[in-house]
Copies of this chain bind each other. A is one copy, B any other.
Amino acid sequence: MPKKVDHHARRTRIADALIRVAARQGLEAVSLRLVAAEAGVSTGMVQHYFRDKNSMMAFALRAVAERVQDRLERARPDALPPKESVRGFLMQLLPLDTERAEEGKAALAFQAHAAVHSDVAGAVLPDPAPLRAHIADLIRSARAGRTGQAGRPGAGGKARHAEGPDPYSAAVGLLALAEGLGTQILTRECTPEDAVAALDAQLDTAFG
């Protein structure tokens, strides 16, 4: 048997180059040759690891999604009170530094791509439900804590009192809000300060 190479590593390296190009010049500028040049490899190698451009795009799409997911995992300080924990999550979704801005631009480009090519997106993108459920649980536990009951994030028990919106709707809203604020920051429709203020305001109401 011949040379043993880490296929996944090679593919990821190429996908990273693709993401960089997409973040800098948009998906329209993504071509086999340009991606290969950005990755510092030959176009032949790109062809070797991806049967065609579409599969390369699909892999990169998954790669951005995983990158975001990874950052969320890393920023999971379960020791903090629920509200601060959720705030930590959502802040990670805002493009507040150059690294996340680049990532956000790539993610935005891929969102547009996914909206049009829903077939590849559906097969590759992760299910957003678990994250929503986790945040909803944190909201529930925070409210339970405020009324004296011990919060049990995993139990999914229903709070009796309604001192705020339905936790699930609040979770969906918080995530969508972070995403919307993120794209508005990227398109300069919104300053980072206003975005953080709006997010904090929404956090305050969601947690009662």
List the interface of chain A (C-beta within 8 A of B). Answer: 23-28, 104-105, 108-109, 111-118, 121-122, 125, 128, 164-166, 168-170, 172-173, 175-181, 183-184, 186-190, 194-195, 197-202, 204-206
Contacts and interface: CB of A to CB of B under 8 A. Distances in A.
B26 A183 contact: no
Given A116-B24, A165-B202, A197-B169, A188 B121 contact: yes
Contacts of A173: 177, 181, 198-199, 201-202
One complex includes copies of this chain to the number of: 2
Contacts of A27: 26-28, 112
A172 B188 contact: no
A4 to B, nearest CB: 36
B184 A176 contact: yes
A52 B146 CA distance: 61
Given A108-B115, A116-B109, A198 B172 contact: yes
